[in-house]
Homo-oligomer: A and B are copies of this chain.
């Protein structure tokens, strides 16, 4: 029996407003072709525009409004000229991640045919890995404060929080992914030589979970040299698991090594499906190019495909979601090979032209 999926569509700010419609266009094409029932509900909040009118990023009942959804399809948020970044982000995206317990941030990194690689001599196939990022705790907190404010003695404490609950589940997810669906090699990002309390502890948790997956080889690497190896030896990575901050860094750097962060998608996953998961491009709202219609919509479109794959894997799923995922990824691959291309890929196409081209190929 065919299920209806209810999906919240939230554009946010900046190029979020330009890429979301392209993502929706492609999803509509996939729905038509594969006879999926995707019901979209649009929300104007989680945006700085909303903040300017209401003094907060989201209405008080945002959680009720979204709780019944199967997924959230999200553009990008942030407009620092109007609202400081920490206010806009902590008032929206970071709330979703935390209050909907989207504890896995899954970010594929892949070099496509037809995309000029900034790393000399690398070919498609050389770069193909996943960053699994912890998404609810760690270095991203608003715990701490300022002492002696406004004086010469001023000092600030910022606290990071790592729980065994939060750490073990992301490590376990990464080991599962490496073991069941990948080449059984897991890189664990750390910085236990400099960050003296949390990171040695994190290493210890990785050892503990590793005991359950003896068939997976593990390589712990300090974040400094790990970023260097993304550039020098990107072919050695399979699955990389990292804390919130380190995963944030690696999942921008990885896509940069594949040519542009304009392609990189992400799933903010609640694998237990107690709350909706959220799918969004890795890139932000990009105020520098917003409003010009030149942003690359592929990260948004690929995020839509990831959303369908996630829905396809759930309990009582619609198997056609999986086929739709594959068709969208195939269409992205083809357009990357043949064009049209946006400026970040050396082309001159508009956001809409790239969206149209992918939608046309999905339609078949």
Where the two chains meet, the residues of A that have a C-beta atom closer than 8 Å to any C-beta of B are: 78, 84-86, 88-90, 94, 116-121, 139-146, 151-165, 191-201, 222-225, 227-229, 231-232, 244-245, 248-249, 251-253, 255-257, 260-261, 284
A197 touching B158, Cβ below 8 Å: yes
A256 touching B244, Cβ below 8 Å: no
**Identical copies in the complex:** 2
When distances are taken between beta carbons in the complex, the residues of chain B under 8 Å from A157 are: 159-161, 197-198
When distances are taken between beta carbons in the complex, the residues of chain B under 8 Å from A222 are: 85
Q: Most B CB atoms within 10 A — which of A143, A198, A223?
A: A198
When distances are taken between beta carbons in the complex, the residues of chain B under 8 Å from A164 are: 151-155
CB contact under 8 A between A195 and B139, given known A152-B164, A156-B201, A158-B159: yes
When distances are taken between beta carbons in the complex, the residues of chain B under 8 Å from A160 are: 144, 157-160
B245 touching A228, Cβ below 8 Å: no
Measured CA separation A161–B195 after assembly (Å) = 12
Choose among B86, B151, B199, B251 the residue that contacts A192 (Cβ–Cβ < 8 A).
B86
Tell me how far the C-beta of A165 lies from the nearest C-beta in chain B, rounded to whole angstroms.
7
Choose among B117, B201, B231 the residue that contacts A257 (Cβ–Cβ < 8 A).
B231
Measured CA separation A196–B94 after assembly (Å) = 11
When distances are taken between beta carbons in the complex, the residues of chain B under 8 Å from A143 are: 197
A231 touching B245, Cβ below 8 Å: no
Measured CA separation A251–B253 after assembly (Å) = 14
When distances are taken between beta carbons in the complex, the residues of chain B under 8 Å from A255 are: 228
B256 touching A231, Cβ below 8 Å: yes
- Name A164's closest neighbour in chain B (CB-CB): B154
B85 touching A193, Cβ below 8 Å: yes
When distances are taken between beta carbons in the complex, the residues of chain B under 8 Å from A144 are: 159-160, 197-198
B244 touching A227, Cβ below 8 Å: no
Choose among B142, B155, B194 the residue that contacts A162 (Cβ–Cβ < 8 A).
B155
Choose among B89, B152, B161 the residue that contacts A165 (Cβ–Cβ < 8 A).
B152
When distances are taken between beta carbons in the complex, the residues of chain B under 8 Å from A152 are: 164-165
